[in-house]
Structure 1
């Protein structure tokens, strides 16, 4: 089974306090679900239509594990804390063999 990568890109941040509450809950939720943070922060460079907003890259053992992390009760609580505090794009992609 191939590993998977969760790519979370912020399109816009509307409320820094809600974002901080989300981050405090989301990190532990991802680690509890088997996720390993590989990168996070603002891009060093963005090309073409690339966004300069915060991006997070998390590795999971499989696509199924990443999807389970998204649907976990701990991550649901993090999403609830974020609410309308940010707009994001989340993608889960399978690693190459």
Structure 2
């Protein structure tokens, strides 16, 4: 089974406190769906294209589980904490393996 990934590229964060509350609220929810954080902010260099102030990547056991988590009422209630002060590109992507 191929893994699923949340990839979030943040273009605007107007309130760091809202984003922190969101992260604190949704982290246990995401983990309950099998989510594992791979990238969460941190140091970066932009070489091409638009510069995103923050990048977050979560790995899930499957694409379906990643979508289920995103669409859950618990996660969506958590996102309500930051969505009015945060703009991001967010997608769920199916993993790939060469093995």
TM-score above 0.5, yes or no: yes
Q: What's the CA shift string for 1:22-65, capped at 9, x where partnerless? A: 11112111101110001111451111114241111100111110
* CA RMSD of superposed structures (Å): 1.4
User: Deviations along 1:45-97, whole A, 9 cap, x unmatched?
Assistant: 11111424111110011111000010112211211111311001111111112
The residue correspondences of 1:79-90 to structure 2 (distance < 5 A) are 79-90=79-90
Consecutive unaligned residues of structure 2, counting only runs of 5 or more, are none
Residues 1:13 and 2:13 aligned together: yes
- Look up the match of 2:4: 4
Q: Tell me how far apart the structure 2 counterparts of residues 33 and 12 of structure 1 sit (CA, whole Å).
A: 27
The correspondence of residues 1-97 of structure 1 with structure 2, limited to 5 A, is 1-97=1-97
**Normalized against structure 2, the TM-score is what?**
0.88
8 Å CA contact 2:5, 2:94 repeated in 1: yes
Provide runs of 4+ in structure 1 moved above 2 Å.
none
